[in-house]
Amino acid sequence: MPSDAPGQFPTIRPRRLRRTAALRRLVAETRVHPSDLVLPLFVKEGLREPRPIASMPGVYQHTVASARKLAVEAVRVGIGGLMPFGIPERRDASGSGATDPDGILNVTTRALREEIHDDLVLIPDLCLDEFTDHGHCGVPADDGTVDNDATLERYAEMGLHLADAGADLLGASGMMDGQIGHVRAVLDRAGRTGTGLLAYAAKYSSAFYGPFREAVESQLSGDRRTYQQDPPNAVEAVREIDLDVAEGADIVMVKPALPYLDIVAAAAERSPVPVAAYHISGEYAQICAAAEQGWIDRDAAVLESLTSIKRAGAGIVATYAALEAARLLA
C-alpha cells in the first residue's frame, strides 16, 4: 500500500472529490442548465400532422398547431428558447415566401409568440435558403453567384416582417458580408430597436448539415463555400466574429459546435457579447445512430456533448436534444 508518510506519495489525492456522485456534483466546474438550451424546430406549410425526419430520430416537421404544443412543453421543461425554421409549399429565385406576411415562418412566429408570450426567447431564422428554388442563402446574380448586397436588402425586409411577427432575436445565418450592420440599421430606422440579432458569426461549410437539409427539403445543388466559413481557417473566423460584434450583434454563434470547439473558445475569450454554439443536425444524428446500434448510451452522450460545448465557453447551446436534455437534467 502507498504510504502517506511525509515525503512519500500519494499525499495529494484528487480522487477524494470523485468518490460519490454528490461530491462530483458539488465540485463540478461546468454545468448545463435547461435555460441555456435553444430548440430548433421545423414547421412545414400545408402539413396535416407532424412528420418524422428519418435522419433525425425524435425530430419532426411540424404543423403550426403541433409547434404550439411543442412550445408549451418547452416552457414546461424550462429551456431557454425556440428557433423556428419555415418550409414553404412554393419556392422561387428570390425566396419571396420569406417576406410574405402570411408565409409559413411569419405565421409560425406569430403563433408561437401568442402561445408562449414572453416565457421563451423566440429566434426565427433570418435566411432565404428554405425559401429559394436554388437552395442558396441569397439572391442570385447574373453569373449564378450569390449577390451579397442584393441579398442584404432581402434580409432587411425579412427581418422587419419577423420583428412585426414577434421575434425577440433574428437568427442571421446567411454569412453575407455586412448582414448584421445592414439589418440593424434598417430595424433601427423602423423603430424596431428592441429586436436583437443573433449572428451566425462563424458558420462553417460543414459536412454535418445533411440531416438539416433533409428536414427543410433543401433545393441546394452544389455547395455554399463562397460564403460560409472555410473549415481550415481559424483566424478568419475570429475576424468574422469581431466584424459582427462591431456591426451590432447582440449574440455571436459558432456552427457547428463539436468540430469547432477551438473557435467557440476563441469567441468566448474575446467577445463582449454572449456566445452561442449550434449542436447541429449531423452531430445529433451521429449520437442517435450509434445509440440505435447499442454502441453508446444516448442519454450520457447527449449530456457529455452539451457539457463539452459549455466547457469550451458557449453560454447558449442550440440543440435538437434540448427537450430530452432538459428532462435528463431535471
CATH code for position 73: 3.20.20.70
Q: Please indicate, yes or no, if residue 248 is contained in any of the structural domains.
A: yes
Q: Residue 16 has what pLDDT?
A: 95
Quick check: 317 and 276 in contact, CB under 8 A? yes
In a domain, 22, yes or no: no
As a whole number of angstroms, the distance between CA 6 and CA 139 comes to 73
Residue 18 lies in a domain: no
The parent domain of residue 70 ranges over: 30-329
Can you give the pLDDT at residue 4? 57
Helices (H), 130-280: 148-165, 179-189, 210-215, 235-247, 261-270
Number of independent structural domains in the chain: 1
Burial label, 311 (beta-carbon count in 10 A; 0-12, 13-18, 19+):
middle
pLDDT of residue 291: 98
**Catalytic positions, written as ranges:** 203, 255
Write the pLDDT tens digit of every residue in 177-212: 999 999 999 999 999 999 999 999 999 999 999 998
Looking at the domain assignment, is residue 1 inside a domain?
no
* Residue 6 confidence (pLDDT): 65
Position 20 in a domain: no
Is residue 21 situated within a structural domain?
no
The residue assigned the cell 428570390 is 94
> So what's the pLDDT on residue 325?
98
- Residue 3 inside a domain? The answer is no
> What rounded mean pLDDT belongs to the chain?
95
CA 169 to chain centre: 12
Residuewise pLDDT in 10s, the chain (330 residues): 555 566 688 889 999 999 999 999 999 999 999 999 999 999 999 999 999 999 999 999 999 999 999 999 999 999 999 999 999 999 999 999 999 999 999 999 999 999 999 999 999 999 999 999 998 889 989 888 999 999 999 999 999 999 999 999 999 999 999 999 999 999 999 999 999 999 999 999 999 999 988 898 888 877 888 989 999 999 999 999 999 999 999 999 999 999 999 999 999 999 999 999 999 999 999 999 999 999 999 999 999 999 999 999 999 999 999 999 999 999
Task: Assess if residue 212 is contained within a domain.
Answer: yes
DSSP for residue 249:
-
- Predicted model pTM: 0.94
Please give the pLDDT value at position 3.
Answer: 54
pLDDT score of 218: 85
